[in-house]
Chain A
Amino acid sequence: MGIRLYQEPQLENPILVASWPGIGNIGIIAVDTLRGILEAEEFGEIEPWDFFYPKRVLIRKGVLEYLEFPSSKFYFKRTGGKDIIFFIGEEQPTEVGRMYAEGRKAFHMANLVLDVAEKFKCRRVYTSGAAVALTHHTIKPRVWAVPNSESLIPEIRGYGNTVLMSDIEGRGGHGNITGLNGLLLGVAKKRGFEAICLMGEIPVYLQGLPLSYPKASKSVLEVLSHSLKIEVNLDKLDELDQEVQRRIEEFYQQIPLEIRGQLDRLKHVAYAQPAEPGPITEEEEKRIMEDVEKFFQKRGGGG
């Protein structure tokens, strides 16, 4: 089990941008969209068989032709100055019955990704995922940024539409990032890489739906492209977002009026600083969460 590099490109001060699927596929859509826009070239992969169960088989005239596994691929793009290495994992290497990677396999995969980063003398890593938030799907999602070192905080404060955990009411600077999008940040710290995880906000009532949430991917990508100092056209994400918003609206109309009324109030949540009183009290927030949970329990798990 290991890494297969098809070529060893000459890269200048590369930055690694990595993502795996997660809630709303926010991170992976952001990273994959950027990879596509920049036409990054595939140059390697992590061999899959020890991490994954196969995803597809082709049998032709009684002969097993091939077995396909979830991919974990590396791409590169020379941008002149700060080149980019992309890593895109099609699945997280989960244990049975788990949604996100954890434990030995996850740690091993995170290290393999960083082995490649190290080989190309990369020192900065970005990962991306979702931040489940009390927000509304009609509101532009913010990006929650979590660095793995104190020294990155001033830089993050300069990003637009971005908050640190300490800026989020009731969090006190705490939280956790599940799965490999978070774990990579920690393993990077252990190995001396600076790393930032950018998480696009997804409304709490959408987290269980089998829908992507490109509106948040766009927010992430705006921050990421600013940080990487590259300009990208995000029209494609807007088109995808319009389609998804239509489906979200259909779902939203199925929510009982009383609960929807509560959720509608989230449209008016100001991006408050912790000290400022928001338009929803703590008690109301609790009630909204309870109502949402009850609704999803009735629907049989929210899928």
Chain B
Amino acid sequence: MSQGYPITIYKEPDLRRSSLVLGWSEDMGNLGRKVTDYLNWKLRGEEFAEIEPEDFFSLGGVAIEGNLARFPESKFYACQEHELVVFQSGSPGAEWYKFLNSVLDVAEHHCRVKELYILGAMVSFSAHTAPRELLAVVNSAEMKEVLGQYDLARGMDYQTSPGERPTLNSFLLWVAKGRNIPGVSLWVPIPFYLAAMEDAQAQKKVLSFLDERLDLKIDFSDLDQEIREQNEQLAQVRSRFPQIDDYINRLESNLMLSEEENGELIKKIEDFLREGG
């Protein structure tokens, strides 16, 4: 479409051969926002550009989250010492192809990005005590080989079922492929009863991979502490509510719960975590 260029650059970053990590700010377990925020915090990411919202988001008002008015944001941050670009954005509701190309325009033309890492979360029916897996979908056989040395599940077979649509992550991976940018879409399963909350273990899983792959040398002691605290809170719920403990025990034994039981488990855990234990 021949409309105005939707990108605003505040400051040209000094990057030679960078990697782009992209997270959506409203995904499951708040994973995209938490991981990109964490990278920006730890690696001193500096905002340098954004994509203007009017072509891509419904602007019929503002959303209110946590008592605050929110406005769609699509921002780029540069972590110059680490040759890393972080992009955090809401998920666009229109003009997806133009949006995704705008992301890659900034990545290619202003940051010389050589690789793309897309973050995503998916629902899991395992208990939170099971180790988190990290699944990878790549856009080239070469990228698959490069990632062979990491602890990733790389053999996924999948096709959309009738009535379903591909994810925006797949769309971006495909656009990147068309521009010869090697990319990987990373998927971490989050226990269903933490999907509307946060899952520090899932965040750690993704961040550990990025740390190793991009040689970021992050000290995770704070995140480890957060994981311990969340596990303690979940242990408290189990000890206080025998029914919840029974449900989680069954999940740990790979048994399915009924829809009603799932609902009860979600509600109890969410209420408990929101009240801070």
Contact = CB atoms under 8 A, between A and B. Distances in A.
Interface in A48-64: 49-50, 53-64
A54 B156 contact: no
A55 B164 CA distance: 8
Contact of A57 (B95, B98, B135, B170): B170
Interface residues on B, range: 20 to 34
Contacts of A49: 97
Nearest to B143: A63
B93 A96 contact: yes
Contact of B1 (A53, A54, A95, A104): A104
What's the dominant secondary structure at chain B's contact region?
mixed
Interface string A96-117: 1100000011001000000000
Nearest to A105: B1
B139 A50 contact: no
A1 interface: yes
Nearest to B156: A62
B170 A67 contact: yes
A61 B155 contact: yes
Interface string B117-157: 00000000000000000011111110010000000011111
B174 A1 contact: no
A79 B155 CA distance: 51
A95 B171 contact: no
B138 A50 contact: no
B189 to A, nearest CB: 15
Interface in B164-211: 165-167, 170-171, 173-174, 177, 185
B241 interface: no
Given A53-B96, A53-B171, A59 B1 contact: no
B94 interface: yes
Contacts of A97: 58
Contacts of B155: 61-62
Nearest to A60: B157
6 contacts: A57-B170, A59-B159, A61-B157, A64-B139, A64-B185, A97-B58
Interface of B: 1, 58, 93-98, 135-141, 144, 153-160, 165-167, 170-171, 173-174, 177, 185
